């Protein structure tokens, strides 16, 4: 077997088809992928060892984001959206952003929920923190947990209601999106407001969004709204990268009994019907809410937990879907020791 014939675990295509860069030196293999996967070294080493029939492989994984279709120095814009509120969209967005950062990418997080911004609290940004203004019109994003963040919550107090009509909210979104000095980013995760309104249209019209992730719960009404969200992105030519189902299952901490409080398998059914992957099924767990509310989301608070592992896998899969490659033969070099 040749290394270029190895099938990527997320995309179902060979690394040769995807244009991975491969360098070999004896039993050492260096692979550059188009999605961040620093946490997969052991998993891929085992898979490659079995594929190549060798137990002595030393794998080095590298990441180079594909060119993308973003703006200025932002390579990829990913919208995290939901058809309705209360499904854990913002918590999902921040954990996906932190997972991408931990996997080796340069990441920004934009809180586009103008009326109900929450990312400042979830990132543990101190009350009253304000972005630095540069040249009288540009914002320096606030850094938290290793990522760059921008939110209306950095502009107002927690008790300030955003009593704005649609055009005002759309204008505010354009300002914090386009006047923030993001510098070089591989991914800008955008935490969208729920629904299919002005903010969604403004984002799709003003910048080239690479893809969207839809967050839902197993409830029939939530799944119906998720389907509407997917159709909306289809109408504005934004590909849906996948579905994340929150509150899939609850396990009693006392007796271990498992309950599907909001239904079972709904996210998988919708994903199958619409031809998009189910990126993750996350449990209904008190810790996820408590950690986000406490300013240290699960991916940072419990990096080795099963829940964090699910966020990491979802983030890798999501990013892998953006790796189109040039469908060319990979570069494979042999280096003598």
pLDDT in tens, 182-219: 999 999 999 988 776 678 778 888 888 999 999 988 87
**CA angle, residues 119, 120, 125, in degrees to nearest 5:** 140
- Residue 262 is predicted with a pLDDT of 60
pTM of the model: 0.90
Residues 104 and 38 sit within 8 Å (Cβ to Cβ): yes
Tell me the C-alpha to C-alpha distance, in Å, between residue 48 and each of 44, 57, 154, 287, 335.
6, 8, 46, 35, 19
CA 274 to chain centre: 20
- Residue 328 is predicted with a pLDDT of 36
Q: Which residues of the chain have pLDDT under 50?
A: 325-337
- Residue 276 is predicted with a pLDDT of 87
- Residue 165 is predicted with a pLDDT of 59
Architecture, CATH, for domain 74-320: 3-Layer(aba) Sandwich (3.40)
Cα separation, 262 vs 222, in Å, equals 10
Q: Classify 109 as helix, strand or coil.
A: strand
Q: What is the maximum alpha-carbon separation in the chain?
A: 67
Task: Spell out the domain ranges in the chain.
Answer: 3-65+324-334, 74-320
């Amino acid at each position: 077997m040749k290394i270029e014939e190895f099938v990527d675990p997320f995309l179902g295509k060979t690394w040769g088809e995807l244009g991975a860069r491969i360098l070999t030196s004896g039993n050492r293999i260096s692979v550059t992928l188009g999605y961040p996967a620093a946490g997969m070294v052991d998993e891929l080493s085992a898979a490659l060892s079995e594929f190549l029939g060798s137990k002595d492989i030393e794998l080095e994984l590298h990441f180079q984001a594909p060119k993308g279709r973003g703006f200025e120095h932002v390579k990829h814009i990913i919208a995290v959206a939901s058809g309705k509120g209360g499904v854990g969209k913002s918590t999902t967005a921040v954990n996906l952003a932190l997972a991408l950062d931990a996997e080796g990418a340069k990441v920004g997080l934009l809180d586009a929920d103008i009326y109900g911004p929450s990312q400042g609290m979830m990132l543990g940004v101190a009350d009253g923190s304000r972005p630095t203004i540069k040249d009288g019109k540009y914002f320096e994003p606030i850094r938290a947990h290793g990522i760059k963040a921008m939110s209306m919550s950095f502009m107002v107090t927690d008790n300030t209601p955003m009593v704005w009509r649609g055009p005002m909210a759309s204008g505010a979104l354009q300002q914090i999106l386009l006047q923030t000095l993001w510098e070089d980013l591989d991914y800008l995760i955008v935490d969208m407001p729920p629904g299919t309104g002005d903010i969604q249209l403004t984002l799709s019209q003003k910048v080239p969004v690479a893809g969207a992730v839809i967050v839902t719960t197993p409830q029939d009404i939530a799944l119906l709204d998720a389907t509407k969200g997917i159709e909306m992105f289809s109408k504005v030519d934004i590909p849906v990268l996948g579905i994340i189902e929150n509150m899939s299952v609850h396990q009693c901490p006392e007796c271990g009994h498992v309950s599907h409080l909001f239904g079972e398998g709904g996210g998988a059914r919708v994903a199958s019907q619409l031809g998009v992957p189910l990126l993750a099924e996350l449990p209904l767990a008190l810790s996820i809410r408590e950690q986000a509310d406490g300013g240290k989301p699960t991916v940072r608070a419990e990096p080795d937990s099963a829940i964090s592992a699910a966020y990491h896998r979802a983030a890798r899969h999501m990013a892998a879907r953006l790796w189109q490659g040039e469908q060319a033969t990979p570069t494979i070099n042999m280096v003598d020791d």
